[in-house]
Amino acid sequence: MKNAEKLDDITKFLKEIVSEEIKEPVESIGEDQHFFEFGFDSINSLYLMERIEKHFEIEINQLYFWDYPTIRSFSEFLFQEKNNL
Amino acid sequence: MSLWAPLDPENISNPYPMYRDLRLNDPVYRASSGEWIITRYEDVRSILKSPDFRVGNKREWMDRGITYFKHKERDFTAIADAINTFILLIDPPRHTELRKFVIRAWDDKEVADQIRQHIEELRKGYFGRADFDFIEHFARPLPVMTIARILGIPIEDCQELQNWGFSLVKVLDLYNKVEDLVRIEKASSDLIRYFEDHLVKLKDHGGEGLISKIVELNKTTLRLSDKELISICIFLLIAGQETTVGLIGTGLRNLFIHEDQRKKLTDHPEIMNLAIEELLRFDGPVHLLGRIAKRNTVLNGHEIREGDTLTLCIASANRDESKYENGEKLRLDRDPRNHLAFGAGIHFCLGDWLAKLQGAMALEEIIANHPDYCVRDTTPDWNNNLSIRTLSSLPAILN
Ligand code: HEM
């Protein structure tokens, strides 16, 4: 397992990959907007998922985007997972 | 808490409590992802039989996925080619033509002797093995040998075909990851190449079996392209593979766990045909089918809108107590008629007779020769596929 991650870094990474994917500046990515509001669907979320899995060396599945539907809740989830909370 | 958590490890190892919760508390359940999860017998059956719902979603999804991933330097085109003429994924009127076409070409149903021969061959291989595994040495090789014989392709190719088929059938699963798509793509390319070569051989030298009959019939009827013919062949190869592995493997596990039921079968082998139906009802290999609403409809007071996705849990429907008394119990002496393990309506399984014949012969072999077989480890090890649920191994002692 990779070293513990800071919550801020996780959030930053998620914002970056979302921004890259939807081609909008990072500053415009709100932490409380739902993934589907950014235009994520069952196809491009697969790509997002792959990047998250590789970056955090973790295994997740599509349904997590519905269980943790915002960058804020997803970051908190990843934070807890990575720090064994 | 979401009632629909199919990827939760506990539900993967046993989804039936989740199905039961849904069935009793929210049988037309809207998952957070927007899809409808349908778990009661009557609802599942009526949707399968209704013209207001269609299949085909998987092909559209793959087409969109291919376009998307091309921009990420990943080419999944072979998957779309492999599945483009899967009868299962096509709607009428095209579906009606294709289904009739296959039924017409498949005129030879005398396969019991061949199955018996395959069972005998397998028996020679596993007899006395200390590391005997019901799946690896029996349930997995048998269906592919039989379908290869039916299709008219060499038995020596079975191992490869089995591996490719196993990877490709995952395409029918609900939730695939990029890494799954990579494996599915590889299997698609390999299978397409294999059947391309096979068609060339048929053209040059002629041949026997269902594929050569399909090719002949095609000349005077549908005039499908080679690409379409290959997709049909691929589907015929894989449709009955993992599914039959599941019927035999999961069946043997359930008969081991439910000792009283196994005894019924050893004492009365003549109930085998009913027993197979009950094993299919109780714990059949196909769990989930997908449909799309063609128009706005109301189901149990829920408004289903045109374009909505529905996931039909046939494995839940088959345990619905309003249809089957004590539905959660395996009872080989019940009448499990009208179970939905093979679907219902226009897509009803075309190979049900073959699956049942082969399942019965396989179980007969074990029950007659090894009535006291023991499963060495009853913690099940399920393959990574929610839609078609099969064991990856089942180590056993034959006695
Ligand atoms: C225990 C074994 C099997 C089970 C449980 C099973 C189950 C099913 C189910 C549930 C469907 C309908 C899917 C839907 O409505 O979306 C289906 C369709 C189909 N099955 Fe099977 N199957 C089995 C074995 C076989 C075998 C051995 C073959 C032979 C090649 C086969 C060929 C087909 C075909 C061609 C279809 C598509 C029919 C259509 O769309 O019109 N199946 N099967």
What number is the average pLDDT over the span B205-232? 96
pTM recorded for the entire structure: 0.94
> pLDDT tens for residues A44-59?
999 999 999 999 999 9
> pLDDT tens for residues B148-191?
999 999 999 999 999 999 999 999 999 899 999 999 999 999 99
Residue matched to tokens 């778990």: B39
Q: What is the pLDDT at residue B345?
A: 97
CB neighbour burial string for A43-54, b if at least 16 within 10 angstroms, e if fewer: ebbbbbbbbbbe
Q: What is the pLDDT at residue A5?
A: 74
Distance CA A29, CA A16 (A): 9
**Do B83 and B181 contact (CB within 8 A), yes or no?**
no
What number is the average pLDDT over the span B346-364? 98
Residues for chain B: how many in total?
399
- In which band, very low, low, confident or very high, does the pLDDT at B377 lie, cut at 50, 70 and 90? confident
> pLDDT tens for residues B239-259?
999 999 999 999 999 999 999
**Do B156 and B144 contact (CB within 8 A), yes or no?**
no
> pLDDT tens for residues B88-114?
999 999 999 999 999 999 998 899 999
- Count the neighbouring beta carbons within 10 Å of the beta carbon of residue A26: 11
What number is the average pLDDT over the span B207-213? 95
Q: What is the pLDDT at residue A4?
A: 59
Cβ pair B177:A50 closer than 8 A: yes
Rg, C-alpha atoms of chain A: 12
CA distance to A29, A84, B214, B330, per residue, from A2 (Å): 26, 11, 55, 46
Distance CA B165, CA B241 (A): 7
> pLDDT tens for residues B291-327?
999 999 999 999 999 999 999 999 999 999 999 999 9
A43 chain-B contacts, CB cut-off 8 A: 61, 64-65, 68
Distance CA B388, CA B390 (A): 6
Distance CA B122, CA B354 (A): 19
Give the DSSP per-residue string, B183-205. Answer: HHHHHHHHHHHHHHHHHHHHHHH
What number is the average pLDDT over the span B131-148? 97
In degrees, rounded to 5, the angle at the alpha carbon of residue B201 between the alpha carbons of residues B195 and B202 is: 90
Q: What is the mean pLDDT of chain B?
A: 96
**Has residue B330 got a pLDDT over 60?**
yes
Structure-block tokens of residue B104: 């017409």
Q: Cα(B369) to centroid of ligand 1, in Å?
A: 30
Q: Cα(A24) to centroid of ligand 1, in Å?
A: 46
Distance CA B243, CA B237 (A): 11
What number is the average pLDDT over the span B377-390? 91
Distance CA B70, CA A73 (A): 30
Nearest to A47 among B6, B32, B72 (CB): B72
Nearest to A61 among B7, B64, B181 (CB): B7
What interface predicted TM-score (ipTM) does this complex get?
A: 0.85
- In which band, very low, low, confident or very high, does the pLDDT at B57 lie, cut at 50, 70 and 90? confident
- In which band, very low, low, confident or very high, does the pLDDT at A1 lie, cut at 50, 70 and 90? very low
Structure-block tokens of residue B194: 């294999």
**Has residue B282 got a pLDDT over 80?**
yes
> pLDDT tens for residues A3-34?
557 899 999 999 999 999 999 999 999 999 99
Q: Read off φ and ψ for residue B293, nearest 5 degrees.
A: -75, 130
Distance CA B11, CA B293 (A): 27
The larger pLDDT score, comparing residue A84 to residue B115, is at: B115
What number is the average pLDDT over the span B249-271? 97
Q: What is the pLDDT at residue B366?
A: 97
Residue matched to tokens 């046993």: B14
B177 chain-A contacts, CB cut-off 8 A: 46, 49-50, 61-62
Check if B351 has its Cβ closer than 6 Å to any atom of ligand 1.
Answer: yes
Q: What is the pLDDT at residue A3?
A: 52
Residue A43 in contact with partner chain B when CB distance is under 8 A: yes
Kind plus residue range of the DSSP H or E element containing B29? strand B28-30
**Do B293 and B307 contact (CB within 8 A), yes or no?**
yes
Q: Cα(B222) to centroid of ligand 1, in Å?
A: 22
What number is the average pLDDT over the span B282-288? 98
The percentage of residues in chain B with a pLDDT greater than 90, rounded to a whole number, is 92
- In which band, very low, low, confident or very high, does the pLDDT at B118 lie, cut at 50, 70 and 90? very high
Kind plus residue range of the DSSP H or E element containing B30? strand B28-30
Residues in Cβ contact with B172 at an 8 Å cutoff, skipping those fewer than 6 apart: B58, B88, B387, B388
